[in-house]
């Protein structure tokens, strides 16, 4: 019996899900962003300008898709009156259809850089919602976003100076950034946020990992991405692949296939990914690793994992495993957590 963890059919589409342009505080226009990313093999870009949501469908063509989205931030009361020491929440909201630009808990006063002038031209951008730096304050916004059909990502938790108590109570998230190119090249974080992903998963929250750029137009482009597996490049197909977790995150190696066959995990890679290590993490201390040079295929017998989960009577909605792939430069590809109840 074969259980495909990434869909068997369809094509992969490379995507950057966190992008800033001249519509807010970026240095590149949306059209320039499109051309740069297409030249680097991307098919999808989510335009997540700060507090301004614009439908960029005019950029779409047969090989490129713009996702309508935006980023909101909520700052804690200033610590020492310095932005450098102020914790914050940053969330991205992704619209289910390109021309749906309804704002979540709107208040145009939060716009900055080039966004206020654009916000003034949007007659529907009205409201006086006051953002509150607390779990409840964020959950109120996330709940409204989910009611509108939006997907929600929790961005760069390390850069945001946040720790477990700040984020573990968040509800309704679709994804968490496990890699952010802007943070990496800026030196704000030297590590990735896999630990945050596992903390969500161990709490039973099925949050997906995403790698993004959070680019503002410098050396922060084309460094982190997700690869969606979908039937074709349409807004509906890509949005649904995001919602279902039919993708993996990467800032280096690629995965061509991922499936379970008779209790054995099988993973395929292209030769030019230079894969040298594959690790399988789980909700328990069960783990496995495989090593090689320029690996194109590996297998891991998962019967021990499933046996441990059964013997320990792990709840089906809490037991999970996920796969991490390393290349010879230490870069990673990260899959979502696959839970017991979806593997039966």
Please indicate, yes or no, whether residues 186 and 61 belong to a single structural domain of this protein. yes
Please indicate, yes or no, whether residues 211 and 294 belong to a single structural domain of this protein. no
Please indicate, yes or no, whether residues 322 and 189 belong to a single structural domain of this protein. no
Which pLDDT tens digit goes with each residue over 104-124? 999 999 999 999 999 999 999
pLDDT at residue 140 in the model: 98
Please indicate, yes or no, whether residues 50 and 164 belong to a single structural domain of this protein. yes
Average model confidence (pLDDT) across the chain: 95
Q: What is the CATH number of the domain that holds 177?
A: 3.20.20.140
Region 24-37 average pLDDT: 98
Would you say residue 297 lies in a domain? Answer: yes
Would you say residue 2 lies in a domain? Answer: no
The partner residues of 327 in beta bridges, in order of sequence, read: 275
Find, among 225, 145, 113, 140, the residue nearest to 180 by Cα.
225
| Full residue range of the structural domain in which residue 177 is found | 9-250
pLDDT at residue 189 in the model: 66
Q: Tell me which of 205, 230, 250 is where a domain ends.
A: 250
pLDDT at residue 6 in the model: 98
pLDDT at residue 191 in the model: 56
Region 302-307 average pLDDT: 92
Where residue 294 falls among pLDDT bands split at 50, 70, 90? Answer: very high
pLDDT at residue 318 in the model: 86
Please indicate, yes or no, whether residues 22 and 46 belong to a single structural domain of this protein. yes
Assign 3-class secondary structure to the chain.
CEEECCCCCCEEEEEEEEECCCCCCCCCCHHHHHHHHHHCCCCEEEECCECCCCCCHHHCECCEEEEEEEEEEEECCCECCEHHHCCEEEEEEECCCCCCCCCCCCCHHHCCCCHHHHHCCCCCCCCCCCCCCCHHHHHHHHHHHHHCCCEEEECCCCCCCCCHHHHCCCCCCCEEEEEEHHHHHHCCCCCCCHHHHHHHHHCCCCCEEEEECCECCCCCCCCCEEEEEECCCCHHHHHHHHHHCCEEEECCCCCCEEEEECCEEEEECCHHHCEEEEEEEECCCCCEEEEEEEECEEEEECHHHHHHHHHCCCCCCCCEEEEEEEECCCCEEECCCEEHHHCC
pLDDT at residue 79 in the model: 67
Cα 318 from Cα 77, distance rounded (Å): 36
Q: How many domains does the chain have?
A: 2
> pLDDT > 90: what percent of the chain?
88
Please indicate, yes or no, whether residues 238 and 291 belong to a single structural domain of this protein. no
pLDDT at residue 317 in the model: 85
Say if residue 80's pLDDT is above 90.
Answer: no
Say if residue 190's pLDDT is above 70.
Answer: no
Please indicate, yes or no, whether residues 324 and 183 belong to a single structural domain of this protein. no
Pairing of strands 88-94, 151-154: antiparallel
Which pLDDT tens digit goes with each residue over 203-217? 999 999 999 999 998
Task: Look at 169-183, 258-272, 302-316 and tell me which has the smallest mean pLDDT.
Answer: 302-316
Would you say residue 86 lies in a domain? Answer: yes
> pLDDT > 70: what percent of the chain?
98
Q: What is the CATH number of the domain that holds 290?
A: 2.60.40
Task: Look at 21-25, 65-69, 78-82, 334-338 and tell me which has the smallest mean pLDDT.
Answer: 78-82
Region 261-290 average pLDDT: 95
Would you say residue 100 lies in a domain? Answer: yes
Which pLDDT tens digit goes with each residue over 125-165? 999 999 999 999 999 999 999 999 999 999 999 999 999 99
Give whole-number Cα distances, 250 to 167, 212, 332, in Å: 23, 9, 6
Where residue 187 falls among pLDDT bands split at 50, 70, 90? Answer: confident
Please indicate, yes or no, whether residues 92 and 203 belong to a single structural domain of this protein. yes
Please indicate, yes or no, whether residues 234 and 272 belong to a single structural domain of this protein. no
Q: Tell me which of 225, 250, 275 is where a domain ends.
A: 250
Please indicate, yes or no, whether residues 90 and 136 belong to a single structural domain of this protein. yes
The partner residues of 326 in beta bridges, in order of sequence, read: 277, 332
């Amino acid at each position: 019996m074969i259980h495909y963890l990434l869909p068997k059919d369809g094509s992969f589409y490379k995507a950057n899900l966190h992008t800033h342009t001249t519509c807010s505080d970026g240095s590149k226009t949306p059209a320039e962003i499109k051309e740069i990313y297409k030249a680097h093999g991307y098919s999808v870009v989510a335009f997540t300008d700060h507090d301004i949501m614009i439908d960029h469908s005019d950029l779409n063509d047969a090989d490129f898709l713009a996702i309508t989205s935006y980023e909101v931030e909520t700052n804690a009361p200033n610590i020492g009156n310095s932005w450098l020491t102020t914790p914050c929440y940053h969330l991205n909201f992704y619209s289910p259809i390109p021309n749906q630009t309804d704002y979540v808990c709107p208040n145009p006063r939060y716009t900055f850089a080039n966004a206020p002038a654009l916000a003034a031209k949007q007659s529907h951008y009205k409201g006086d919602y006051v953002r509150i730096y607390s779990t409840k304050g964020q959950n109120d916004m996330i709940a409204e976003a989910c009611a509108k059909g939006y997907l929600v990502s929790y961005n760069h938790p390390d850069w945001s100076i946040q720790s477990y108590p700040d984020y573990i109570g968040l509800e309704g998230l679709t994804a968490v950034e496990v890699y952010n190119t802007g943070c990496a090249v800026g030196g704000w974080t030297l590590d990735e946020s896999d630990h945050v992903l596992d903390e969500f998963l161990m709490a039973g929250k099925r949050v997906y990992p995403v790698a993004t750029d959070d680019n503002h137009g410098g050396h922060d482009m084309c460094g982190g991405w997700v690869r969606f597996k979908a039937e074709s490049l349409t807004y509906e197909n890509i949005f649904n692949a995001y919602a279902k977790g039919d993708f993996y995150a990467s800032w280096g190696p690629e995965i061509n296939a991922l499936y379970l066959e008779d209790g054995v995990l099988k993973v395929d890679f292209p030769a030019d990914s230079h894969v040298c290590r594959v690790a399988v993490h789980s909700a328990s201390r069960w783990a496995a690793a495989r090593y090689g040079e320029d690996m194109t295929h590996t297998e891991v017998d998962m019967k021990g994992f499933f046996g441990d989960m059964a013997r320990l009577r792990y709840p089906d909605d809490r037991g999970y495993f996920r796969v991490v792939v390393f290349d010879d430069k230490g870069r990673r590809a990260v899959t979502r957590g696959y839970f017991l109840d979806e593997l039966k």
